[in-house]
Amino acid sequence: MSKTVVVYFSGYGHTQRVAQAVAEGAGAQLIAVDAEGNVPDAAWDELAAADAIIFGAPTYMGSVPWQFKKFADASSKAWFTRAWQDKVFGGFTVSASLNGDKQVTLINLQTLASQHGGIWVSLGLMPSNTLNASRNDVNNLGGSVGLLVQAPSDAGAEAIPDGDIDTAKRYGARVTEVATRLKG
């Protein structure tokens, strides 16, 4: 089995809940980016030792929040030494709106992984887009590049639809499965 790490920033707890679901599916370790945009020093060693890294960030104003961007910029040391070269990557984002420009955030995360020489894993699930589909269905937001999650702005993380949490677990498992296949 491959070692997977989920590194995420959560401003209000919604992204943290999704990160926990992704980590559960992936059998992954969690690394939180703090309110100042930092991770513990030991986290850099964990990321370097990982076979797969899954990025998670809310979508704020059409992109990642500054805290995650600070982490991404700090990863330039790993970029310079190619420490993350050929690792498997995935990503997810959360916003209050059904769309909320989440795709732009995922492309930002995918670009970060690509700059590190990584191999990006798509969501790999068919969208739930029929007349009878509901918010409790898997991939009900129709993601493909990565995991999309919607969290109501006037509710806590417990209000995230079950379909999004189930999709998160499946995506975490997919990233780890791909990393394991490539490692073997």
Over residues 43-94, the pLDDT tens digits come to 999 999 999 999 999 999 999 999 999 999 999 999 999 999 999 999 999 9
CA separation, residue 158 to residues 15, 22, 90, 140, 179 (Å): 11, 15, 24, 18, 30
The secondary element (H helix, E strand) that includes residue 183 is helix 162-183
* Number of Cα atoms under 13 Å in the Cβ half of residue 60: 15
73: Cα separation from own chain's centroid: 17
User: Which pair of tokens denotes residue 160?
Assistant: 């995230």
Radius of gyration of the chain (CA): 15
User: How many CB atoms neighbour CB 36 within 10 A?
Assistant: 7
Tokens 């690394």 map to which residue? 31
Q: What is the DSSP letter of 154?
A: T
C-alpha triplet 127, 164, 156: angle, nearest 5°: 150
Q: List the beta bridge partners of residue 95.
A: 150
Q: Phi/psi at 95 (nearest 5 deg)?
A: -145, 165
pLDDT of residue 98: 87
Q: List the beta bridge partners of residue 89.
A: 53, 120
Q: Phi/psi at 120 (nearest 5 deg)?
A: -85, 140
- Using CA atoms, how far apart are residues 90 and 169, in angstroms rounded to an integer? 13
Beta-carbon contacts of residue 124 (< 8 Å; ≥ 6 apart) = 171, 174
Residues of the chain with pLDDT under 50: none
